[in-house]
Structure 1
Amino acid sequence: MQPQPGPLTYRDATPDDVDAVVALVESAYRGESSRAGWTSEADILDGQRTDRQGVLEVVEAASSRLIVVERDGALVACCQLEERGDGAAYFGMFAVRPGLQGGGLGRRVIAEVERLAREELGAREMQMTVITVRKELIAWYERCGYRRTGAKTPFPYGDERFGLPTRDDLEFELLVKPLACGAAAGGAEAADAGAAR
């Protein structure tokens, strides 16, 4: 009989975590390793998903936190929580280790970060952007209580920091969720998410 995994721990990333976070994010979205999970963008984007400088900027930003999630001392997930003002917080850079996706870990992480946004930032709304062709991912967020707004922004074609698109119809859509007191991630599905940009 295998031992039960330990509890999840959450902490703010430090500059020493940057390389591990880059590796986690890349493994969840790019290349063959990402196909072990369901959040892969390998069919729509080549190149990098993030880089060391981009992650370091999030770690060091005054209005943003990069949260690392560990179990038994190993990095299993990460996400960005940024204060946007006017009662809004932004959720981004969400990644779950591909082999752990689909078991409810992503749902637990997003619920905890929503709690932090409410209780520590006083946020009344969580915002995120998702590539519109990621239908399965958007549906997962909708089951977690997010709604599509129809507000879209273009994909940064030509900026290799965001990857190399394999199609010409990519754009981001803003998703939002009200953060009422005592609310948690909605839905009963045990699906697991890997990313919001």
Structure 2
Amino acid sequence: MTNKREVVLNPFLTSMQKRIIKIHYIGQTPILTVGDPELIKSILVKDFHIFSDRSNVRKANNFINRSNLFRLTGDDWKRVRSIVSPTFSSGKMHKMYPKIRECVGDLMNHLESLTLTNREMDAKLIFGSYTMDAIATCAFAIKTNIYGNPDNPFLTNAVHTFEPNIVQELATLLLPTTVMKWLQKFMKKNTTIFFVKAIQE
């Protein structure tokens, strides 16, 4: 005997499966991953004004994280984006080019000096240092001398900021926002304070 419900739903499910890659959960939040190119185009271009918000699955645990473009939504996102966007105009990027070129020169000199030692190189650390040097130079107008000073505060604080912490990641995903607000006062804030001071100065 044919199941009527199965007959009715199967064409719908088959159609949906062609447009969706996967439905999964992050913590308690359902996530829909779209795979249909035309649907993706509509989301990113035609209907972008509806889908401009980023994922808010992971609850930010401090003001700095809550205030960046990847966390903001609605009018707050539009306001901050209008402030940040001019920074990346073609004219501003053109002005940054000499500074980035100078950072690349420092990187090349550092790599050349390392080849003379005939030792193994930590590529991740070297290019991470270059990235931080370029950011510090362009965004903060600070010359870091990062290759000659491995304990440079910009580098150490950046490494600490992006260092994975599985306990904190799980807590952010699973615990309610009210609990995370209470726990955040016990979390390390030194790196946040460092970068806030760098911006203020």
Q: Same fold (TM over 0.5)?
A: no
RCO greater where, 1 or 2, for CA within 8 Å and sep 6 or more? 1
Larger radius of gyration: 2
Give 1 or 2: higher strand fraction. 1
Q: TM-score, normalised by structure 1?
A: 0.23
Give 1 or 2: higher helix fraction. 2
